[in-house]
């Protein structure tokens, strides 16, 4: 099933918050979903008979542009063998996105990583801690405006 058909199904199920598919750029088309809807949309995508997106391939946090962060979801279906890319864009001043770790257990660590490196805060996540950086690290290193601190716990950071 291609992204247009999936969009039509979603459009019928949800009144608002579903963006038009972006298909003009290479290579993967995607849809932008409102952050407040993302959990409900994902649950729908997983459980709907015609879609059955049972597998979360990848969840990435992205420093989207000057004012926004994004979370990108790559989904696929074992049963129907189709794929989908979703995005949700949130402002840097209020980077709250509902978790999808209750929909796919795979999202748990991916969301911790996105929180650690990008600084997206996942609401209702069961265990939102840093995962790759030490727990007392400051800042989110994959932000474009990130500056490496000179000292960490009194130790000089090399490079």
Contact residues for another protein (CB under 8 A)? Answer: 25-28, 30, 54-58, 60, 62-63, 72, 74, 78, 81, 85, 104-106, 108-109, 117, 130-134, 141-142
Reduce the DSSP state of residue 26 to 3 states and report it.
coil
For helices 38-47 and 3-13, give the axis angle rounded to 10 degrees.
110
| Identity of the residue, 36 or 66, whose beta carbon is nearer to another protein in the bound complex | 66
Residue 62 CB, nearest approach to another protein (Å): 5
Residue 26: burial class (beta carbons within 10 Å; 0-12, 13-18, 19+): exposed
Strand 68-76 versus strand 55-62 pairing type: antiparallel
C-alpha to C-alpha distance for 98 and 39, rounded to whole angstroms: 6
Q: Which residue has the tokens 């750029």?
A: 25
For another protein, give the closer residue by CB, 10 or 70. Answer: 70
Smallest distance from another protein to CB 18, Å: 20
> Is the Cβ of residue 35 or residue 72 nearer to another protein in the bound state?
72
CB-nearer residue toward another protein: 105 or 155: 105
CB of residue 26 to another protein, shortest distance in Å: 4
């Amino acid at each position: 099933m291609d992204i247009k058909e999936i969009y039509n199904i979603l459009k019928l199920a949800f009144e608002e918050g579903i963006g038009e598919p972006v298909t003009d750029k290479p290579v993967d088309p995607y849809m932008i979903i409102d952050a407040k809807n993302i959990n409900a949309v994902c649950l729908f995508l997983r459980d709907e008979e015609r879609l059955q997106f049972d597998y979360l391939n990848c969840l990435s946090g992205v420093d989207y542009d000057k004012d926004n962060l994004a979370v990108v979801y790559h989904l696929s279906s074992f049963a129907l063998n189709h794929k989908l890319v979703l995005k949700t864009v949130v402002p840097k001043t209020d980077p709250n996105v509902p978790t999808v770790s209750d929909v796919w257990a795979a999202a748990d660590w991916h969301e911790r990583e996105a929180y650690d490196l990008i600084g997206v805060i996942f609401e209702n996540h069961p265990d939102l801690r840093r995962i790759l950086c030490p727990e007392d690290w400051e800042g989110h290193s994959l932000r474009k405006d990130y500056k490496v601190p000179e000292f960490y716990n009194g130790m000089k950071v090399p490079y």
